[in-house]
Structure formats: C-alpha cells, structure tokens
Chain A
Amino acid sequence: MCRLAAITSDKYFSPMENILALETMKEGHDGSGLGLTLKDLGGEFEKLKKYPTLSGICSKDGKKTLERLMKQHGFRLKNAWTPKLRQVKGVTPRGYYFAHVYDYPVAYKDKPLKEKEELLMNTRLMLRRTGESDGSIFAFSFYPDVITLKEVGDPLELGEFFGLDRDNLKARIVFAQGRQNTNYAIYLYACHPFFIQGYCSMTNGENTAFVPIREFLTGRGFCGYTGYNSDSEVFTHILHYTARQLGFPLHYYKDVITPLKLSEMDNRQDREALRLVKQSLRPLCIDGPNMVIGFTPDGTCFMVQDSKKLRPGVVGGVKGKYALMSEECGVDSAIPKRDRSKDIFPMKYDMVIIQPRAEEAKVWNQLQN
C-alpha cells in the first residue's frame, strides 16, 4: 500500500520532514520509491516564483536534446538546480536530475496564464514523447513555483541520495509518496504525486473504476489527459477537469468522485445542479479503496476518502502548519506539538480543506449545505 505524507505551512520547510514522516509509516509501505512535489518554493527559487520550472531526469544524450528543444521552443534558462547527489547503496543514479527555471518565450510574455499553462503542458508532453521510448528524458512537471523529484528506492535513502538533508531546497507545501507503483510495472511515470497545470494529487489504494474513468477523460479532447501508467493518475486529472475545465468550486471534487445518492441530496441547496452533475459525470465516480490528497494552483490542500472509507487518512497540526498523512505516526513526526484530540479523520462524506498558509483545517461535509 502507498503511504502519503503532505505538509502545508506558512513557513518554508525542508522536504526531509515529509521523508521522515514516511519513515515512521514504513510498516505500511514497501520502500520501493519516492515521489516528491514541492510547491510555493523557498531558497534559491523564492525570487523565481513567476517563472516556470521544469523538473525531470535526463541521460547525457537526453540533456543535449532537452537543451536543444527548449531553445527551439524559445525558453531561456534562468536557473538550473540539480540535487547534490550522494552515493547511496541500493540507488542507481540515472544521470542528470534537474529543476530548470526558464523564462517564457518572448511571444508568451504577456499572454494570459491560461495560454501559458497550455504552452507549458504541451512542452512537457512533447519532452515526454521525445524521451520516453529510450528513457533519455523524463519530464514530471513544468509549471511556475513547482518542483517534482521521483526515483526508485527507499524514501529515506533517496532523501540522502538527493542530498535533501543538506540542500537549501525548501517549500511551503510538500507532497511525498513512499512507494513505486508496485501494482503494475515499476516506472517513474507511474509514481505519484501526479501533476497537471497547477493541480497535483497522490492517492492511497487501487482504483477499481480506472478503465471507465480513463476512457471518459481521454474522450474530453484535452491532450493533457494522457499517460495513465498508474491508475492513480486519473484522480489528478479529475481534479483538473472539475476545477479548471468545468470551473467548479473545489469541494465539488468530492461530489464528483463520491456522489451522493439522490435521496441524500435533498438537504443541499444546490441539489438541482448536483443531480445534473452526478448524471453527467457518472463515469468519474470512484469506487475505492482510495484516499486522495491534493493541492490546487492557489495552494489549497485537501484530503478525501472514497465513499466506503477503505484507506487510512488523518489531518492534524497547528495554526500555520498542517500535516495530511496516511497515518497518525506520520503527523506525530511532522508536527509533534499539537493537540492530538483535534486531529481529523475524514469520514466518507468529508473533505478536509486547508487554505494556503495553513491557517486552519476545515471539514466540509457533503450532506450539509
């Protein structure tokens, strides 16, 4: 089973906090990999927030191809970060791990964000297509103020491998997931967190409704709905589709993936709309067992369960710092000094939402207005 560790804070912190939290939950995962997504970056990236950051891994040849392609598409390199790798037993370095900050092509400088987002996503997909067959380029995310790191191995060892304990790499939101996709083939593109145009999520559990959901998403005519090396990637795309493409407020994500029964909708003021949404998005209903942690472009974090609540999940913290974890011990590791009695275990109708800067954790309940 995957173990998930997300922290959102009003201060920059090191992703090692997430990795150490994962370590406490080690009994629940097989230590087969690590996926890290950092948002709202600090350190050397703090002054580069408005520029898009491309995260990935290249081989030697892939690096040359990458540089050529980015130049060809008009992106100008502003800053290149690479982790300070340290040799660790059991981790085979792949080559060049990077987070490159680029300036937009001149023609896009004054374009609205939506158009910039299309450009960034298309560029990322282009890089993926170019480098996927020979494994020369892996491109995980390309978006302002976001970095993604992924590798196969034990999370704690990978933290050491990437030198995260010594690096000044910090962020206000960090998502970490401690396992490769062991249900299917181990593959970097199958490792969560998944990211698309500012929306990110990671999931615990297998998605039994994967195929109908994937077929629905690919039928939307949106080229970013691709990949699906993991059945968990659809959770990110559902989030993107409902919030960005359809423009629904965030909490409707819960109504889409775990819709209420018709009889349960009666108390909701928006029941008429909800009925239509349920019908039209019927194929996006998940059937569990899943727990999903995600963030949106503005930095709002959330946790939801499937309607049978067959996967663990807990949210706890203090004003200014909250942890969204698979297990209580993870929260203890990240935020030991808190009132544990106020920890939230979201139930089947709940969605825990934490606004940017982690002021407080609010529980939105589907049955209430």
Chain B
Amino acid sequence: MEPASKLDHNHRLSLKEFPYIIRWRDDRCKRCGTCTAVCPVKAIEPTVKVRRQVHSEGPLPAPATVRQVVQVVEQVIDMERYCTGCGACTLVCPNEAIEPEFNPNNKFLHYKNKGGDGYKRGGRRNDPSVSTLDRLKFTRISMLTDPALDAGRHEFRIRTLLGRILPPEEIPLKVINNKLSIDKESGKFIPPVREIYPIMIGSMSVGALSPPMWEGLAMGVAYLNEVEGMPVVMCSGEGGMPPRLLRSRYLKYFIIQIASGYFGWDEIIHAIPHMTEDPAAIEIKYGQGAKPGDGGLLMAQKVLKLIAKIRGVPQFVDLASPPTHQTKYSIEEAVAKMIQSMSMAWGFRVPVYPKISGTKTARAVLNNLARNPYAAALSIDGEDGGTGAAYNVSMDKMGHPIASNLRECYLDLVKQGKQNELPLIAAGGVGKKGNLAANAAALIMLGASAVSIGKYIMQSTADCFGDENNRCNLCNTGKCPRGITTQDPKLYRRLDADKVAERVVEVFKAADVELKKIFAPMGRSTELPIGMSDGLSIDDKAMADRLEISYAC
C-alpha cells in the first residue's frame, strides 16, 4: 500500500515555493521545443498529459467528453532545477508563448540547501532596493553667481591619477634660473603615476569570463585608448593573461591582478623579460566586495585547455584560491613585502596597490598604506560588487556598503592631509540601476579618485540577464545562457567579441558625455572634482550626517 504522504504528493513542493514561475500559453505554443532545449537549467521540459475535453459538434449542443493525449511544456518541480528567470526561453520562442514571472513570495532559500551545502551562485547581492549611491543628488548648480559650463563647448579633462603621489613638500625640486627642475642627486624615489580615465573595468578573469567576453572587453579598451584617446584601463582578474597580450604593446592598458591562488603568475613572471610595455598597474587582491573573506573558485568544468595553460594547471580541476594569501602574517610585514616584491619585479616603474572588500576595518588598512611610500592606491570593493561564484550568504549578507566606507577613508586622509597622495578606488554597485556616470560622479565627489565596474559592463555590453531578484546568476555553473561566463563553446559562440567591444566603446563614450553633463552645471571641467562634497545632497538626514554632506528634501 502506498504511504499517504506519497498519495497526496505531500513530499513535493508547490510551484509557489519557486522564485520564478513559468507562464506558458497552450494556445500560442507550437511545440517546437526550442525553449526546453535552450533552458540552461532544464527547468522546463516537454511532457504529455491526458486530458478530458468536452466537444460539441453539429448545430445543436451535444457535448461529449473525449480523452486526449496532449503535449505540454511544464515547469519541473525540483529545487535543483529551479527556473532562474533568465528568460532564454522567451527569447527563443517564436510565438511569445512562454515567460518566467518573478514570485516575490518564494521560499527558495528555505530549500536550496540540499546535501547539507549552502546555496552557491554567481552574480550580485540580491537587494533590489535603491542603493545609497542612487539616492545621492547633485545639488550645487552653477547658474548666476558663477556661470554654468557648456558640456558641448568647453574643454573637459576627465582624467585621474593612479599611483602614489608625493606630497608637494617632498618633491625633490630645485630652482635654477627661476625655473623648477628635479634634483636628481637627491636620490629620492619618485613613484610611478599613471593618468587614466576615472572609470575602470574591474577584475574579471580569463576563465571566469568566456574567451569572446574577455577579448571583447580587451579590444574595446584598446580601441578607447588608441582611437578615442580615452585612457581606460582594465584589470585582468586572477588567472593571468593571454601570453601574446603579455608581450604586446597593449599591456599598458591592463592592470594585472595577483590573488591568493597566484594563478597565471608563472606565465607572467616568465613573460616579464619579453614585455615591451609595462602594465598599467598591479592589483593585489586581498578581498572582494561580493564575498568578503572568501577565496576565489573556478570550477573544473571551466578549466579548459587555454585556461589551464594560462593558469599553469591541469585541465578540469577545481581551482580554488584560498580566502587569504598564505604568506600573509601581518599587514605591516606581508602587505608591505608583497607591494615591494611586485614593485621590484618591474623595476619600481609600475604602481602596485591592494584591493580589499568594504569593511569597518578599511581605515586600519588605509592608515597602514598611508605610511607605506610604495603603496600606490587602495581599492575598496563594496558589498554590491559582483562575483562569478560564491555562497549566497556571503553575497547577500557579508560586506560593507561602499558609500560610507569610501567616505570615511577619504575623510581620514583629509585629516592627515594625504587625500591626494593615496588614491582611493571605489567599487561595488556602481551602475547597479544603470546610472553609471551618476554613481561614478557621486563616488568621486565623496572622495574616490576612480571607480571600478564589473556587472554593469557585463550587462551593458553582453546583455547579462542578472538582476537583484536572483535572475539567472548561473555564472558559477559554466552554463551562462548569454555566453559571458562559460567555457563551453556551444554557449560562448552565442557571444560576438566584436559586438562586445563596440558596446564597451559606446558605454564609455556615453558615460563621458554624461559625466560632462554632471560636471558642467557644477562648474567643474579642468580637474576631476574629487572630494567636492558640497556638490552632493541626500534625502535622508542620517545618511547626510554619516557622509558629511548636506540633507536636501
């Protein structure tokens, strides 16, 4: 005899528990099967059902029941094959017969822990609320007391500096014939400094990204530099760089990242003697905003031949970077040594800076770096940053918002008079709601020298499906339906590297126009308005007090 629980389906979940519910229209579907074939998680499947249908034929009603076998598309009631809401099915459907619908009452997280392991995913923090960055307004408008500038007519210099900048008192200068010159006999170390565009593409590795995605970004960056004259730089992420690129003249547009797994560094170190250009900078990753305190992970299925070669590992093995650098003992000792070693590798010609996740302890790190004359910057990645793979709990609940973290660090530097010496790079949630230029400008006015973007560029250049309602977020599985974060040729051939590059150029050119549209009415054009906090307001008194800006309502 069947147990009662099985007979009444008590062991099964209902669709209401699922984050996305498929709305399938029987009358529109022509049963082509494309949607079920394209679904990256097999959340829908074709199936057959027996239906009792009432038919009536002839001039007078004569209803009769007929039992028919019909083909339907059905959502699978299995949490391991939950619909991610990516909408790939909708895209391929010729008749608009299918669409996932977000279910705000879902109980997904109650069940997504099978086998005793927490839910892992890629993407960003699932918080669709309006972020602090999007609440910041630019309220100091030049008008009559000082004429507003013309974004289309005046010359704008939207540039920033990456690298340790000497305090004016320490520049080794001498005056000869009423002219300043550098006193080369002083022996004073003059740190390398790059003039770059203040929006950078953040660290996303070859491996995490598919070949066309990474190539597309890289081509776009090279075009921006060489054709558009915009010195945009891009960080490699952990995992090395294509060997030919390392030896090419384009290397100067890239920041090479070293992280706790040191993946790719064997290849990089061997390429140093053959490099024709220095990289833009070296980023030492100590933390990531999306998953503070967590290491990196490239899953075995993404470690194909090219990736294995670049990273110097066998194919098809999980590549885990530890949560912390194994050589790290204390910030004074290990971080300083790491910065020194990296600087030394390129003859002290390349800025070297650490990246940390947003944290209450950021100021402690900052103050340590402020005392280290070789530290070139500090990059702080806030909780709204993205990742290719992490535990959901890390992404949703760990980390610090970037706005107040960045602001307190900047104000700390102001107190020491060092705000121009150690550039702060802010990341994590820039462009979360699409307001790239506005978010970047707000962070700059709070004190950032530059901002770094990741998710925004993936969405705007390669149409990443992800959003803050946990849509898609399959980056960790290697099954990215857009071909962005996969090493599966069947998936990544969907993505055209040239189109990605074109979009990169469009995105940066548009952001440049928008930045001018923000800075012009505020009367700023010749120098980036870093720390121009009198230009900002927010509609929340507590936030205004915390950020030391004005409250406006």
Contact = CB atoms under 8 A, between A and B. Distances in A.
Given A211-B534, A248-B180, A283-B419, A308 B525 contact: yes
B165 A215 contact: no
B146 A206 contact: yes
A258 B180 CA distance: 17
Contacts of B157: 261
A303 to B, nearest CB: 19
A249 B179 contact: yes
A203 B224 CA distance: 39
A252 B168 CA distance: 13
A251 B177 CA distance: 13
A208 B523 contact: yes
Contacts of A286: 526
B532 A209 contact: yes
A289 B415 contact: no
A280 B165 contact: yes
A273 interface: yes
Contact of A252 (B155, B166, B180, B414): B180
B385 interface: no
A144 interface: no
B523 A279 contact: no
Contacts of A215: 414, 419, 531
A273 B417 contact: no
A280 B167 contact: yes
B168 A246 contact: yes
Contacts of A12: none
Given A219-B414, A277-B180, A212 B168 contact: no
A112 interface: no
B129 interface: no
A281 B421 CA distance: 10
Nearest to B531: A212
Interface string B167-181: 111010101001111
Given A205-B146, A219-B419, A308-B525, A276 B530 contact: no
B53 to A, nearest CB: 74
A270 B526 CA distance: 21
Contacts of A220: 417
What's the dominant secondary structure at chain B's contact region? loop
A279 B146 contact: no
Nearest to B168: A280
Contact of B154 (A219, A249, A308): A308
Contacts of A285: 526-527
Interface in B126-160: 142, 145-147, 149, 154-155, 157
Contacts of A218: 417
Contacts of B527: 209, 259, 282-283, 285, 287
A96 interface: no
Contact of A274 (B142, B180, B522): B180
A134 interface: no
B90 interface: no
Contacts of B181: 270, 272-273
Given A183-B145, A212-B532, A276-B171, A283 B420 contact: yes
Interface in A190-213: 205-206, 208-212
A280 B420 contact: yes
B185 to A, nearest CB: 14
B524 interface: yes
Nearest to A306: B526
Contact of B523 (A277, A283, A287): A287
B252 to A, nearest CB: 15
A219 B421 CA distance: 12
A269 interface: yes
A272 B168 contact: no
A216 interface: yes
A288 interface: yes
B419 A208 contact: no
Contacts of B228: none
Interface residues of B, number: 44
B175 A246 contact: no
B78 interface: no
B526 A307 contact: yes
A206 B529 CA distance: 15
Residue of A216, A247, A270 with most chain B CB atoms under a 10 A cut-off: A270
Nearest to B172: A276
Nearest to A251: B178
A206 B535 CA distance: 14
Query: Chain A: interface residue count, which band?
Result: 35 or more
A212 B530 contact: yes
A67 B167 CA distance: 41
B533 interface: yes
Interface string B291-334: 00000000000000000000000000000000000000000000
B14 interface: no
A282 B165 contact: yes
Given A216-B420, A219-B414, A277-B168, A288 B523 contact: yes
A248 B526 CA distance: 22
B150 to A, nearest CB: 10
A310 interface: yes
Interface in A285-331: 285-289, 306-308, 310
Nearest to A215: B414
Contacts of B167: 280
A249 B414 contact: no
Given A211-B532, A261-B157, A276 B526 contact: no
Given A208-B523, A212-B530, A277 B147 contact: no
A23 to B, nearest CB: 23
Given A269-B179, A277-B168, A285-B527, A219 B415 contact: yes
B531 A283 contact: yes
B195 interface: yes
Nearest to A274: B180
B238 to A, nearest CB: 30
A218 B154 CA distance: 31
Interface string A239-256: 000000111110110000
A289 B146 contact: yes
B182 A289 contact: no
Given A269-B179, A283-B420, A310 B147 contact: yes
A215 B43 CA distance: 57
A272 B419 contact: no
A284 to B, nearest CB: 9
Nearest to A252: B180
Given A277-B171, A289-B146, 15 more contacts: A212-B530, A215-B414, A216-B417, A249-B179, A258-B526, A259-B527, A270-B181, A273-B180, A276-B182, A276-B190, A277-B173, A286-B526, A287-B527, A289-B523, A308-B526
Interface of A: 183, 205-206, 208-212, 215-216, 218-221, 245-249, 251-252, 258-259, 261-262, 269-270, 272-274, 276-277, 279-283, 285-289, 306-308, 310
The 8 closest A-B pairs by CB, nearest first: A219-B417, A208-B523, A206-B146, A285-B527, A273-B180, A280-B168, A212-B531, A211-B534
18 contacts: A206-B145, A208-B142, A209-B527, A211-B531, A212-B530, A246-B169, A249-B175, A249-B178, A249-B180, A259-B527, A273-B179, A273-B181, A276-B166, A276-B190, A277-B168, A277-B173, A283-B531, A288-B526
Interface of B: 142, 145-147, 149, 154-155, 157, 161, 165-169, 171, 173, 175, 178-182, 190, 193, 195, 414-420, 522-527, 529-534
